[in-house]
Amino acid sequence: MIVETEVLALEGAVPQQKAESLEEPHTPDPKQLAIRYTALSKVTGKAKFAAEFTVPGQKMSYGYIVCSTIAAGKILSLDRTAAEQAPGVLAVLTYENAPRTPVPSSKPPTRRHVTLLQDPGVDYSGQPIAYIVAETLDQARYAGTLLKPRYQASTPLLHFHDRLNQARPPKQGGRQPVEEHRGDLDAALGKAAAKVDVVYTTPIQHANPMEPHATTAWWEGEKLKIYDATQAVSNGTQSLAKTLGIPIDSVHIQCPYTGGGFGSKGSQWSHVPLTAMAAKVVKRPVVCAIEREQMFGNVGARPETVQHIQLGASADGKLTGLRHDVILHTSTMEDFLEPAAYQSRYIYATEANWTNHQLVDMNLGVATFHRAPGEAPGTAALECAMDELAHELKMDPLQLRLNSYAENDQSQNKPWTSKHLREAYQQAADRFGWSKRPQQPGTIREGNLLIGYGMATAIYGANRSASQAAVRVLPNGKAIVGAASQDLGTGTYTIMAQTAADGLGLDPKQVEVLLGDSTLPKSVVSGGSQTAASLCPAITDACGQAKVKLFQMASDDPQSPLHGQPAEKLALGGGRLYLLATPGTGETIAALLTRNGNKPVDAQGSAEPSEDAKAFTAQSWGAVFAEVAVDVDTHMPQVRRIVATYDIGKLMNRKTGINQLEGGIVWGVSIALEEDTHLDENYGRFVNRNLAEYHVPVNADIGTLDVTVLDIPDTKFSPLGARGIGEIGITGAAAAVGNAIFNATGKRVRNFPITPDKLMA
């Protein structure tokens, strides 16, 4: 339930940050739906991120985390004396003197395991072992070098590929069972005319948003105030309150902008409670930004995978059996399952289908959500294996997929809410010119370059959860919309404004947006591609409530031209209330409100998935086609162009929506060709902990992108008709590139990323 104070919070929220609105000379055409609220504030540097705030009247201080250099064992001694006496140092917290938390670190009170300096144990290299606060960041960092830790090291569990025989079932499942057996797999594969039996691997990957994880914390009496770089403002208060053992309403988190998250900011890591603890000790605001090197270790990672795939097809190219067994690494501290085989249960129609996930314990930082967790590495492997099967069958890979088109969800035995993948395949294939693809690898040569074409299916679940929102209609006829959501660069500000403008019959320019503040009405974590689908229906509901109040006010007001009119005869549009039958009869919202006390009208809304939706499975779909060129001498693969079409329900906003899909595809290219965290298996340290050696694509690596959407509303999923789009772009894209490289060279690389050394072999 929304309480009154939450709505009133619209006034006080985001004190140092003006609400986002379109203030630039800009004439958006609402029909184009091509506006972006945050563009000006980001380009001009006005947008402030979590480590950039000051606290009025207080002197800031800077927190620095010192990390362990062994991967397993315990700390024997840490000498605080020298560090405490170093210039500018305000506090040195270690396991010996850090404030105690109500629950030991080994028993995380929230979902994720964090390290809060409660004991001398070390579980991975890079684990926080001390937290230093000083007047400047350099002073804190220097003091960290004076601690001279002595350890008792034990042998860490590190060699993943040597220990696959130790893989075990996860202790807890995910949103689906970890294992599923449907049909007689042996029989289905036994009768197949063509088979593949292959093992694919994907490496550890680290999300590297432009903005590192960062927290600014200070206390006002017993109230904890936080600026945090997060994907979860609402859930964040709960995590922090539980971890520190304080009431949830004494935690206030603000986050007007998040500089990218990709899943890594969906959980609250050690630095957040540690910064809060340190701020209490030094009685000053503390700013802590995770260093780029520390982004590789204590704020999560995508786990390494080994994926064994068996496929069988009849001579006419219909899948008979599909088996997908995944082994992933997990941290010794916590089981985290990236469900890379889930999509294999329902992406195609099969007679028999077996999937399984197992984990191998490693002395590494906790693994976590990473854009399209499951589907990203899962489709990279499965969709290349499908290409291998098509090659065995001497069949067009698109035809193979069409032959086994899943008309329903065989795993759950449910119909889809809506599925238009056939149209997506067709549209993308036509735009790409797929009919020109030679079946025989190595056929097209341009000078020193071998050219190849590849394709893959993209798939990601459509998620939705309960959310709240509030709107305030101001006496000047403008409106404010607010919710404790967050904008990761995805466009939340923009679609909140659009949805409220739609609901109140206003121009988006007349709507200001407040988000990123935990005192606003509770909303969802921006993960699982669910923000738009969860939040926008709540905004629509709030606008509906506001409309009821405005109509009632007009009807009750003898001075209104709409006096005595029942609500069903009234409408809102162009900033006016009017009679549906004679739109000329009416008045502006401003005129009505000015006359009626010159006060705003507040309304709250909420929305949650309907019970009816449970009868269906909701998935988004897409088709990705890639053209690559591979140099015959250097073996360097180069993506020339990617064409993709998605079935994602209704498109909310062309600019922010297509941009997210493009970003996802770029990341798919990154999985295919570039990203790879290297682990030193003796010391448990990541070797390439920087953006020079951890390769991500630059513009020159991408070529041209042609992204289209079908834009067919999925009203069985939600009245809004829009499914999420944050993650589907990364799925399938890596496989499309891998398959294009095979088509160019005849070489099948099954260990991602596909680097020139592997193509040389």
Contacts with ligand MOS, 264-293, as mask; x by CB under 6 A? --x---------------------------
| Stretch of 38-46, 244-252, 368-376, 508-516 lying at the interface with ligand MOS (CB under 6 A) | 368-376
| Stretch of 39-47, 156-164, 260-268, 551-559 lying at the interface with ligand MOS (CB under 6 A) | 260-268
Point out which residues pair with 356 in neighbouring strands.
Answer: 325
Contact between 213 and ligand MOS by CB under 6 A: the answer reads: no
Q: How far is the CB of 80 from ligand MOS (least distance, A)?
A: 38
Binding residues for ligand MOS, total number by CB under 6 A:
11
Q: What are phi and psi of 141, to 5 degrees?
A: -65, -40
- 516: its two tokens: 């990123």
**Residue 427 or residue 531: which is nearer to ligand MOS going by CB?**
531
Contacts with ligand MOS, 514-553, as mask; x by CB under 6 A? -------------xx-------------------------
Contact between 391 and ligand MOS by CB under 6 A: the answer reads: no
Angle at 657 between CA 654 and CA 659, to 5 degrees: 100
**Residue 73 or residue 726: which is nearer to ligand MOS going by CB?**
726
Contact between 371 and ligand MOS by CB under 6 A: the answer reads: yes
Q: How far is the CB of 487 from ligand MOS (least distance, A)?
A: 13
Contact between 373 and ligand MOS by CB under 6 A: the answer reads: yes
Residue 202: other Cβ atoms inside 10 A: 27
One residue of 263, 312, 491, 664 binding ligand MOS per CB under 6 A: 263
Q: What are phi and psi of 465, to 5 degrees?
A: -140, 175
Point out which residues pair with 121 in neighbouring strands.
Answer: 74
Contact between 370 and ligand MOS by CB under 6 A: the answer reads: yes
Using CB positions, name the residue nearest to ligand MOS.
263
Residue of 379, 381, 382, 389 whose CA lies nearest to 619: 379
- 2: its two tokens: 């929304």
Contacts with ligand MOS, 718-737, as mask; x by CB under 6 A? ---------x----------
Residues annotated as catalytic (active site), given as ranges: 727
**Residue 389 or residue 462: which is nearer to ligand MOS going by CB?**
462
Q: How far is the CB of 297 from ligand MOS (least distance, A)?
A: 18
Contacts of 591 (CB under 8 A, 6+ apart): none
Cα gap 444→451, rounded to integer Å: 5
Instruction: Tell me the CA distances in angstroms from 67 to 140, 161, 279, one per residue in order.
Output: 13, 26, 20
**Residue 130 or residue 483: which is nearer to ligand MOS going by CB?**
483
Contacts of 173 (CB under 8 A, 6+ apart): 337
List the beta strands (DSSP E) in 273-365.
286-289, 305-313, 319-331, 352-362
Cα gap 124→270, rounded to integer Å: 14
| Stretch of 363-371, 424-432, 559-567, 602-610 lying at the interface with ligand MOS (CB under 6 A) | 363-371
Point out which residues pair with 335 in neighbouring strands.
Answer: none
Contact between 302 and ligand MOS by CB under 6 A: the answer reads: no
**Residue 369 or residue 416: which is nearer to ligand MOS going by CB?**
369
**Residue 263 or residue 454: which is nearer to ligand MOS going by CB?**
263
Contact between 256 and ligand MOS by CB under 6 A: the answer reads: no
Contact between 259 and ligand MOS by CB under 6 A: the answer reads: no
Cα gap 258→490, rounded to integer Å: 9
Contact between 339 and ligand MOS by CB under 6 A: the answer reads: no
**Residue 173 or residue 441: which is nearer to ligand MOS going by CB?**
173
Longest CA pairwise span in the chain (Å): 86
Peptide bond preceding 415 in cis form (omega within 30 of 0): no
Q: How far is the CB of 534 from ligand MOS (least distance, A)?
A: 13
DSSP string, 232-294: -HHHHHHHHHHHHT--GGGEEEE-S-----TTTTSS--THHHHHHHHHHHHTS-EEEE--GGG
| Stretch of 14-22, 365-373, 394-402, 587-595 lying at the interface with ligand MOS (CB under 6 A) | 365-373
Name the amino acid, one letter, at 363: N
Residue 100: other Cβ atoms inside 10 A: 11
**Residue 262 or residue 342: which is nearer to ligand MOS going by CB?**
262
Q: If you search the block for the tokens 């996930």, which residue do you land on?
A: 357
Contact between 461 and ligand MOS by CB under 6 A: the answer reads: no
Contacts with ligand MOS, 229-248, as mask; x by CB under 6 A? --x-----------------
Cβ atoms of residues 404 and 330 within 8 Å: no
How many residues belong to the chain? Answer: 761
Q: How far is the CB of 326 from ligand MOS (least distance, A)?
A: 17
Q: How far is the CB of 34 from ligand MOS (least distance, A)?
A: 25
| Stretch of 213-221, 367-375, 512-520, 709-717 lying at the interface with ligand MOS (CB under 6 A) | 367-375
Kindly tell me the sign of the dihedral angle through the C-alpha atoms of 483, 484, 490, 493.
positive
Helix/strand/coil for 175: coil
Contact between 503 and ligand MOS by CB under 6 A: the answer reads: no
**Residue 37 or residue 369: which is nearer to ligand MOS going by CB?**
369
**Residue 258 or residue 519: which is nearer to ligand MOS going by CB?**
258
Contact between 663 and ligand MOS by CB under 6 A: the answer reads: no
One residue of 49, 64, 142, 369 binding ligand MOS per CB under 6 A: 369
**Residue 69 or residue 465: which is nearer to ligand MOS going by CB?**
465
Instruction: Tell me the CA distances in angstroms from 395 to 188, 388, 392, 451, one per residue in order.
Output: 20, 10, 8, 19
Kindly tell me the sign of the dihedral angle through the C-alpha atoms of 482, 488, 494, 495.
negative
Q: How far is the CB of 374 from ligand MOS (least distance, A)?
A: 9
Cα gap 54→287, rounded to integer Å: 9
What is the Cα 513 distance to its own chain's centre?
21
* Site residues for ligand MOS per CB under 6 A: 231, 262-263, 266, 369-371, 373, 527-528, 727
